[in-house]
Structure 1
């Protein structure tokens, strides 16, 4: 069968090639792929900056944002042929730390976890794949065109859970949210904020293309002004930071209303320096009882939360988030950015 593979550490080594057909072990689902999403992590791996092949192998099958249809399911697994499913990305370490042992493998303490399509495990970017039943999550049938957004939705489902858990340290009734960045993570964070009945504002640099309309059609407010102006005008109770860029990160730390919560989800590149008045940042956070939390990856609980959020969303809006669909034979094109890209997927 065909798969999208890369040689980790080698720049521009993405290719579509033949790999062995999957052989399910006891308790596994056999799944026919429908699509995989391409995100910043995939592009970093394609540039040779990241990624690890399975032990003893030279190439890694890409694809951690999965969507497929079950071909075979073991009896008693809770799945049946024809079910729409996504596969979980991370697996706990072999000698689990306390977090992994309790199912919180997104919070692994020792770094010995593995990840499909990223770290030591082949991904879901092949015409068929196997997945342990306990690491598969079912989606509603009507999401067959957009369920590939499941994994990025898990990231923001966890981010919202973290915000709400931090807020619950005391009385917490947030009203205004600022989401920085209108890429897939920012848009899906906005969706979940709107589903919570909050007033959501979104900041991005562009004034044209699909992003402003996607934000406004959710009922949120789109801004393309200076971050300092926007955060001063909005005075958010919550900031979901989804850019990783210096200015919005630093402005978010000191720009919330008192007792605000900032959740950082954007991964910043190294080497971008900024001059910061650390004393002023510290003073603001301490005197306002603010909290800052970083969030990445997701566990099974967040996958189920994401499945519920997508089931509740307007499929037509979700369809618009996917701005480019690339057939498997031209998969390399999915890693080359185009001006109006939001989410790019490879279709099987």
Structure 2
């Protein structure tokens, strides 16, 4: 069986290899792989900067943004052949920490969790894969072309949940949100903001093309003249930061209205220094009761919420997020960016149904 594999921390090692077909055990689904999404984490792994192979193995099957169709399900599992499913990425640590013991493995305290396609567990970029029924999420059949968006949607579902939990420490009725970055995470965060009835603004550098059209398709407002210009027009109650650009991060923290919440979802590259006026920033955060939080990964409840959000979204708009569909045989193309890219996926050459 073919799978897309890499030697973690070895740049240039990405290759399609033959591996053994999975043999599901009790309580596991056998899934025909349809597609995997490519994100920044995958690119870091391929560049040799990140990732861990399963113990005793040199290579890791990558791919954590999954989509597949059930080929075989255990009796009484709640799943059936041909169900459209996505596999959850993270598994709790075996110790476990308190958060993992309470089912909140996305908030693991000791870092001993494992992750499909990232950390010590093979991912989903293979012709077939298996997954525990308790870590499989069924999708609406109408999402067969776009269901690979579920994992990134689960990430922003968690981010919005964190914003609302923090806001609930006092009266909180946000009206405006600024999303910085119009990549997949930013656009999906905007989608969930619109679903909440908020006035949504999205900031990015590009001035034309797919990203402004997608924002307009949500009924949101697109900005490309910089953060200062955007904030001059709207003092946001909530900022979802999805660029990871250090200067944007700190500027966004200072941009909110009083009692503002900034949720950081973009991972910044290390090693770049910037100068900030920390005293003024601290003063504003304290005197305005502002909050800055980080959010990463997702739990089972976030996947369920994301599945509902995608089922209720416009399919044409969701399809617009997927810029290119690259077959497994041409996987290198998926890691070569093109100017108008939003989300690139690798199709696993499963037969159409």
TM-score (ref. length: structure 2): 0.98
Secondary structure in structure 1 of the residue aligned to 2:23:
coil
Q: How big is the shift at 1:235?
A: 0.2
Q: Can you list the C-alpha shifts for 1:112-139, whole angstroms capped at 9, x where unaligned?
A: 0000000000000000000000000000
Secondary structure in structure 2 of the residue aligned to 1:44:
helix
Q: How big is the shift at 1:85?
A: 0.3
Q: Do 1:153 and 1:306's aligned partners in 2 also have CA atoms closer than 8 Å?
A: yes
Q: How big is the shift at 1:50?
A: 0.4
Q: Kindly report which structure 2 residues correspond to 1:245-324, keeping only aligned pairs within 5 A, or say none.
A: 245-324=245-324
Secondary structure in structure 1 of the residue aligned to 2:25:
coil
* C-alpha RMSD of the superposition: 0.6
Partner of 1:244: 244
Report how many aligned residue pairs link the two structures: 348
* Unaligned runs of at least 5 residues, structure 2: 349-353
1: CA distance between counterparts of 2:88 and 2:150? 10
Q: How big is the shift at 1:338?
A: 1.1
Q: How big is the shift at 1:223?
A: 0.3
2: CA distance between counterparts of 1:173 and 1:226? 26
1: CA distance between counterparts of 2:155 and 2:317? 19
Q: How big is the shift at 1:71?
A: 0.6
Partner of 1:100: 100
Secondary structure in structure 1 of the residue aligned to 2:253:
helix
1: CA distance between counterparts of 2:133 and 2:335? 30
Q: How big is the shift at 1:75?
A: 1.2
Q: Do residues 175 (structure 1) and 150 (structure 2) align?
A: no
Q: How big is the shift at 1:209?
A: 2.0
Q: How big is the shift at 1:17?
A: 1.4
Partner of 2:346: 346
Q: Kindly report which structure 2 residues correspond to 1:45-84, keeping only aligned pairs within 5 A, or say none.
A: 45-84=45-84
TM-score (ref. length: structure 1): 0.99
1: CA distance between counterparts of 2:58 and 2:279? 48
Q: Can you list the C-alpha shifts for 1:43-85, whole angstroms capped at 9, x where unaligned?
A: 0000000000000100000100000000111112111111000
Q: Do 1:179 and 1:190's aligned partners in 2 also have CA atoms closer than 8 Å?
A: yes
Q: How big is the shift at 1:228?
A: 1.4
* Unaligned runs of at least 5 residues, structure 1: none
2: CA distance between counterparts of 1:146 and 1:128? 19
Secondary structure in structure 2 of the residue aligned to 1:255:
coil
Q: How big is the shift at 1:147?
A: 0.2
Q: How big is the shift at 1:233?
A: 2.0
Q: Do residues 125 (structure 1) and 98 (structure 2) align?
A: no
Partner of 2:336: 336
1: CA distance between counterparts of 2:208 and 2:60? 37
Partner of 2:351: none
Partner of 2:11: 11
2: CA distance between counterparts of 1:155 and 1:337? 23
Secondary structure in structure 2 of the residue aligned to 1:345:
strand
Secondary structure in structure 2 of the residue aligned to 1:79:
coil
